[in-house]
Amino acid sequence: MVRLPEARDLAPRLATGAFILNSGLSKLRADQATAQTVHGMACVAYPFLEKIPAERFTRLLAVSELTVGGALLAPFVPTRLAGLALTGFSGGLVGLYLRIPGMRQQGSLRPTQDGIPMAKDSWMLGIGLGFLATPGRRRRAAAARYRHAAGCRRRHRGRCWC
């Protein structure tokens, strides 16, 4: 049985999923110059990526974006699992923003004009962390049973007839 995401999770899942999926599709069709640019920025923040050729890195990035975006848009993927993928992915993007020179104002987290497009990735990190903090259905059901039993013990002097 497929459980649909809760109503409160639909809008952020749709918005972030569509945004990331679109980004992945555009990178999948990236030309050589775009691949070099994307790879160059990533290598500034994460030097170990220099070992991977630019075209291969861009293709791997595109596939990861398609995977994360698809997980967010797919109703059968649990929200917490989609949140875990989104948190990991957007954490890497926020790391780019924090590590690339010229993206932030001196001594501040505030973005420069060039850093605004990258600073917006922080909202995805916030959404992902929010999805991770959402209590699962089992935990909510167990908490409801506990509250019910506690109320019955008070009302029925220790016995639950409900």
Phi, psi for 111 (deg, rounded to 5): -75, 150
By residue range, what is the domain housing residue 86? Answer: 8-136
Q: Which residue carries 């069709």 as its tokens?
A: 29
The amino acid occupying position 99 is R
For residue 108, give the 3-state DSSP assignment. coil
Number of domains in the chain: 1
Residue at 162 is within a domain? no
Confirm whether 155 is domain-assigned.
Answer: no
Structure pTM?
A: 0.79
Amino acid at 95: G
Query: Residue 1: inside a domain, yes or no?
Result: no
3-state secondary structure (DSSP) of residue 5: coil
Instruction: Examine residue 159 and state whether it is found in any structural domain, yes or no.
Output: no
Tell me if 161 is assigned to some domain.
no
For residue range 67-105, what is the model confidence (pLDDT) as tens digits?
999 999 999 999 999 999 999 999 999 999 999 999 999
pLDDT tens track for 11-69: 999 999 999 999 999 999 999 999 999 999 999 999 999 999 999 999 999 999 999 99
Q: Going by C-beta distance under 8 Å and a sequence separation of 6 or more, which residues neighbour residue 63?
A: 24, 28
In a domain, 46, yes or no: yes
Tokens of 52: 């991977």
Q: Is 39:58 a contact under the CB 8 Å cutoff? A: yes
Query: Longest Cα pair distance anywhere in the chain, in angstroms?
Result: 75
Residue 154 lies in a domain: no
Q: Is residue 64 part of a domain?
A: yes
* Alpha carbons 147 and 121: distance in angstroms, whole number: 39
